[in-house]
Chain A
Amino acid sequence: MSKPTGRYSWWAPYLFISPFVILFAVFTVYPLIYSVVMAMQQNNGPRATAFVGLSNFKWVLTDPDFIKALKNTFVFAAGSIFVQLPASLGLALLLNRPDVRARGFWRLIFFAPVLVGLAFVAIMFGLIFNKTNGLLNKMLVLLTDWIPGWTWNPEFPWLQEFIMPALIIAAFWMYVGFNMVYFLAALQNVSKDLLEAAEIDGANAWHRFLNVTIPAIRPIATFVVLLSFIGSMQLFELPFLLVGNGGGPNQQGLTVVMYLYDKGFNIGDLGYASAIGWILAMILFAFAMLQKYLGRVEDR
């Protein structure tokens, strides 16, 4: 092994890694450490600060608004994971079938909503969910007129009393096609040999799906679930634009990040906002660990 020669050699490696190290230190490490310090302060903007120890964490964990925001966020995450992802998988299975005509076209149609900006989606769904003149209520009234014994309140207050279902529907429209693409990619890797072998052995479609397809797509499915959970926990723009800063009547649409934003940037208590941020980070970390642990257990 030859030794590097030349007068600049000793510092060359440091020079090459310095852009990353400097940026990482200034924009990641320092803010991270400072946010821990701030989480132990009460602020009115960055200048007026008072050390309060761990009381911010104590307050956050007993703060009814935070608990409500956390509950709302988990409900949304559950909607994403248990409603949106199965639908994405179903769509992917359907559009993976060779006998479906114009598969490329349908894939594009279902994927297209994600290309639309969130602000536009919020404005559009604001009109769709409008109580008096909204498209959804009008459509449901027409639909229920056709079904004997069914009625629909023509002024169903989606954005006043059913904010979370409305948000889940809006997010469903936007992301179902996006997650479908992940599942489509995963389905390409399902061994055709195994599927054929299972068929020859007498396994029906459901058993082939359960015992061959699902195990094959599990790594991607796990990743999609994790991504979906993290995305849900960071939910901000959609409810912010659809129902406003406070989350609508009774804070039904208030999410953890909206609450963090309100405390930090409207009220100016950056310390309290930091404490909320750290609790959110811990929740995400715990979920990721739990998923990793469950994955290992299943592997064994």
Chain B
Amino acid sequence: MADSESKATLGGKGWRPLDTLSIGGWIILFIAVASTIAVTVWPEKEIEGVQVWVFARNHAELYDVLAQEYNADADAGDTSRLNITTIDNDALTRRVLSGFWSNTPLADLIEIERDKMTQFVTGPLEHVGFTDLTDRIMAEGLDKKINYPSFGPWTSRGRIFGLPHDVHPVLLCYRADLVEQAGIDVSEIETWDDFARVMKPLISDLDGDGRPDRYLLNLWYSQMGELEVLLLQAGGGTFDENDNSLVASDANVMVVAQSVAWMVGPERIAIDAPEFDASGNQLKLDGRVVAVVMPDWLAGVWKSDLSQLGGKLKLMPLPAWEPGGRRTSVRGGTMIGIPKATEDFETAWQIAKYLYISPELSERLFEASNIISPVTEFWDEDYYKQPDPFFSGQASGTAFIEQAPNVPFRSSNPFHVMARNRIADAVTDLYAEASGGNVVGPDGKKIPADEVTSDLLEDRARELLQAAEARLLKEMSRNVFLKRDREAEDE
């Protein structure tokens, strides 16, 4: 018995290969070998031509039309065909980062969203995966042609890594039907104080439960996008043009204290009605929000998502933080960049200009998404001057363009997102303290939530923002790559 068993073993003389595996084992082995061969030999379908990755579906829809025209005109066969692919924003960012890190293939042109850009410039300049376009932009005079602040988010340590898609000026969008019904004259509004005072009669209890449910402004401590608009408008934000921190600046202190006072206590005018959110949209449809800060792209979003509000809205410049102050701000943004690994830079560069700054794009971009072009010479075009039924017949294009030259500078500092998060933490803490009646007043006593005002919050806002800035600077000091770059610059 033992002898017959040993014959069937690998070392035995009577070893029969077929006996080494059962039938099931052979089937699995066959499938494994066959599938490996199939995967290896199967011809991979290669997409010919120039690849463009975008993260926004509305951008892709627009570029698809342009791509069809380009491909029809190109007449050069498959190598110059333009192919547009839409990828979710987070997935796109990770894919591009991993492509830069590991040299895996990427598209020839890639769109990047403003908040994601900082992830691409955290290391040494020579490790940024996008081609440095600074010299080309200067050589072709595009720096003069394009609204200068639009380059800000795509510039790191003085070098420009992308062509800007937009300007994204911000206006105040208000419910004209409600305002006019209440007999309110918006021309009396110049500052945010005026806005709160003139519009105050519109704060009302709609459901009769004794508590107001209509408020004047969509703003909440959890909505950092809206808060950042106000910070930038006031001259604050995260970093200035020389990469100095603005986290604890006077402008930020004032805006943070005022914003929290607008959410708590007798100065309350704010309501939490987030964008891209079903309940937030419902609040707007129900007339529980009188006004929102609206960049040009959001106007396009509202036209599709909140079309029921068409004809009930109007636009006006943002109220200023002080008489004669800035009446606009900026929110969002996109660039198109060319990875260093792109084989044909010249073709990619021509297509980038065609997709981003051509007259063909400018008109369609505005028609499709209400976004105005960053190219200043197009701002006189007729399509921007047409009455817009969604905004009660106002020329929305002209309204945004009038404020476009005044949009504030935005930093592309690699620590921008971190700085913004630190400010958000400070705002959240201040709100929690104010609404919990834990802010200490000048007399050393705690101020009840229903007595909190912006003046009483300023000292605490400053303390929280200074602590936030100290933490940020400590975290920044850890980055050896930026430290090296700075030392090299100093030398």
Q: Enumerate chain A interface residues (CB-CB to B < 8 A).
A: 4-9, 12, 42, 44-48, 50, 52, 59, 64, 130-134, 155, 160-161, 246, 248-251, 265-268
CB distance from B124 to the nearest CB of A (A): 6
Q: Could you tell me if B283 and A12 are in contact, using CB atoms closer than 8 angstroms?
A: no
When C-beta atoms are compared, the residue in chain B nearest to A7 turns out to be: B11
Q: CB distance A133 to B282 under 8 Å?
A: yes
Are the C-beta atoms of B11 and A45 separated by less than 8 Å? no
Give the residue of B15, B127, B283 whose beta carbon is less than 8 angstroms from that of A45. B127
Q: Is B261 an interface residue (CB 8 A)?
A: no
Tell me, yes or no, whether B432 is within 8 Å of chain A by CB: yes
Residues of A within 8 A of B279 (CB): 130-134
> Which stretch, B73-81, B164-172, B187-195, B423-431, touches the partner chain A?
B423-431
CB neighbours (8 Å) of A50 from chain B are: 480-481
Q: Are A44 and B282 in contact (CB under 8 A)?
A: no
Q: Does B206 contact A (CB under 8 A)?
A: no
Residues of B within 8 A of A249 (CB): 221-222, 424, 428
**Chain B contact residues, majority secondary structure:** helix
Asked whether B478 lies within 8 Å of A45 as measured between CB atoms, the reply is no
B94 at interface, CB cutoff 8 A: yes
B421 at the A interface (CB under 8 A): yes
Count residues on chain B whose CB falls below 8 Å from chain A CBs: 36
CB atoms of B119 and A47 under 8 A apart: no
Q: With A42-B479, A64-B471, A250-B429 in contact, is A268–B119 under 8 Å at CB?
A: yes
Known A5-B11, A132-B283: A48·B425 in contact at CB below 8 Å: no
* 10 A-B pairs whose Cβ atoms sit less than 8 Å apart in the complex: A6-B15, A8-B10, A132-B280, A133-B278, A249-B222, A249-B424, A250-B425, A265-B94, A268-B122, A268-B123
Contacts of B221 in A (CB 8 A): 160, 249
Residue on B nearest A6 in the bound complex, by CB: B11
Residue-wise, chain B 477-491 has the 8 Å CB interface mask toward A (1 for contact) of 011110000000000
Are B480 and A132 in contact, CB atoms less than 8 angstroms apart? no
B350 within 8 A of A: no
Closest residue on chain A to residue B101 by CB atoms: A45
| Cβ distance B212 to chain A, nearest Cβ, rounded Å | 12
Is B282 in contact with A132, judged by CB distance below 8 angstroms? Answer: yes
* Cβ of A3 to closest chain B Cβ, rounded Å: 10
Flag if B119 contacts A45 (CB, 8 Å): no
A131 to B124, CA, bound (A): 43
B-side contacts of A4, CB under 8 Å: 11
B100 touches A (CB below 8 Å): yes
How far in angstroms is the closest Cβ of chain B from A13?
A: 10
- Most B CB contacts (10 A, CB to CB) among A8, A9, A42, A132 go to A132
The distance in angstroms between the C-alpha atoms of A227 and B53, with both chains bound, is 42
Given contacts A47-B127, A249-B428, could you give 16 more A-B pairs where the C-beta distance is less than 8 Å? Answer: A4-B11, A6-B11, A42-B478, A42-B480, A44-B124, A45-B101, A46-B102, A47-B101, A64-B471, A133-B279, A250-B428, A250-B429, A250-B432, A266-B119, A267-B122, A268-B119
* Cα A132 to Cα B272 with chains together (Å): 9
Interface residues of B in 112-128 (CB under 8 A from A): 119, 122-124, 127
* Distance to closest chain B CB from A87 (angstroms): 30
- Determine the chain B residues whose CB is within 8 A of the CB of A248 once the complex forms: 222
* Nearest A-chain residue to B211, judged by Cβ: A154
Q: Which residues of A contact B480 (CB under 8 A)?
A: 42, 50, 52
Whole-angstrom distance from the CB of A110 to the nearest CB of chain B?
30
**Complex: how many Å from CA A132 to CA B285?**
14
B97 lies within 8 A of chain A by Cβ: yes
- From the candidates B102, B122, B478, name the one contacting A44 in the complex (CB within 8 A): B122
Looking across the interface, which residue of chain B has its beta carbon closest to that of A43? B123
Cβ A6 vs Cβ B127 within 8 A: no
Shortest CB distance B431–A (Å): 9
Closest approach, in angstroms, between the C-beta of B247 and any C-beta of chain A? 15
Task: Give the complex CA separation of A283 and B325 in angstroms.
Answer: 54
Q: How far is the CA of A7 from the CA of B94 in the complex (A)?
A: 52
How distant is A84 from chain B, measured CB to nearest CB, in Å? 28
Residues of A within 8 A of B272 (CB): 131-132, 155
Is there contact, CB below 8 Å, between A44 and B222? no
Known contacts A48-B127, A132-B283; A268 and B428 CB within 8 A of each other: no
For A6, the chain B residues whose CB sits under 8 A away are 9-13, 15
Cα distance A52–B481 in the bound complex, in angstroms: 12
| Chain A residue at smallest Cβ distance from B483 | A50
Do B123 and A48 touch across chains, with their CB atoms under 8 A apart? yes
